[in-house]
Chains A and B, each alone.
Chain A
Amino acid sequence: MEQQIGLNGYLAVGAVLFVCGVICMATKRNAVGVLMGVELVLNGANVNFLAFSRFGTLGLDGQAAALFVIVLAAAEAAVALAIVLSFYNNHQTIDVDRATQLKG
């Protein structure tokens, strides 16, 4: 039973991290804050992967996937920051509420 609880516990943690990340993305007006939310989301997913790798049948595949997620998250963070910098260069602000030029 401890395994079950262990798995459920890890899954719960992953869920919490994920939800926090989503709320962070949804509420922060600072663009960098939004990026932090993205990092949180990806972390939650990683926890999930590794929990199943340990308690489930994924095995090494789960860990390899988590590795990939980490790498991709780093790449994505770099690009996103570049975008934010570019946005800042053009508009002198990083308030996402100002980024409404794609408004329909």
Chain B
Amino acid sequence: MESFLFTVFAVTACGGAVAVVLSQHVVRMAFWLVISLGSTAGLFFLLNADFVGAAQLLIYVGGTVVLLIFGVMLTASGPYLKISGSPGELLQASVVGLAFLSILIFSVLRIDWDEHFAKLEQAAGPSFFERPTYRPASEGATVRGLGAALLGTRFDRDLGTGDDELSTGYLLPFEIISVHLLVVLVGAAYLARAKRKVTRSEE
């Protein structure tokens, strides 16, 4: 079952991405992007990352793409809906892309993951999902763990292992990102303010 779902989601995601590349109409591009991002969210659920998958759907599909649509609406009306490049460029781009892809696949396939992870487990201990002490309700129930990690406590590492040191969580990045978001939004609002028909001297 899982592999079937994986196949479906994978094909959809890749197909959507390719469609984004190939389509010329910007709104259609946005549609295919939505398809692709949704499939990716499905992939996330398959990977036991329930919260991240949900966040993907919320933020990406529900927020970012809408934002993009709005941007398209504001700017690309009329003659800018379809701007196409030359075929030569497309060929060139596809060649480069295929080369890139082949390199990536090639490098991935060449690695012996078992051996690699065995080595890592020897060094760092069993992975999260094989730790004896932490037993989430289901494998995908990561909300509590993520939340606690974001606030600085790492259940998956520190409880019951008898370590002398406590691991730091992601409290600092969390705070930074919060401020970062605020700054970004302020900046974006400032950048995008309406300045049509305003002369140079008044800026």
State if A and B touch, Cβ cutoff 8 Å: yes
Closest chain-B Cβ to A70's Cβ sits at a distance in Å of 5
- The answer to whether B104 touches A19 (Cβ under 8 A) is yes
Complex Cα–Cα for A34 and B132 (A):
46
Closest chain-A Cβ to B122's Cβ sits at a distance in Å of 10
Residues of B within 8 Å of A86, CB to CB, are 191-192, 195
Number of interface residues of B (CB under 8 A): 87
1/0 per position for B118-152, CB-CB distance to A under 8 A? 00110010011100000000000010011001100
- The answer to whether B177 touches A27 (Cβ under 8 A) is no
Main secondary structure of the interface of B (DSSP, over half): helix
Residues of A within 8 Å of B43, CB to CB, are 10, 13, 47, 50
- The answer to whether A17 touches B17 (Cβ under 8 A) is yes
B interface residues with partner A (beta carbon < 8 Å): 3, 6, 10, 13-14, 17-18, 20-21, 26, 29-30, 33, 36-37, 40, 43-44, 47-49, 51-52, 55-56, 59-60, 63-65, 67-68, 70-72, 74-76, 80, 83-85, 89-90, 93-94, 96-98, 100-101, 104-105, 108-109, 113-114, 117, 120-121, 124, 127-129, 142, 145-146, 149-150, 154, 156, 170, 173, 177, 180-181, 184-185, 187-192, 194-196
A interface residues with partner B (beta carbon < 8 Å): 2-4, 6-13, 15-24, 26-33, 35-37, 39-40, 43, 46-47, 50-51, 53-60, 63-64, 66-68, 70-79, 81-86, 88-89, 93-95
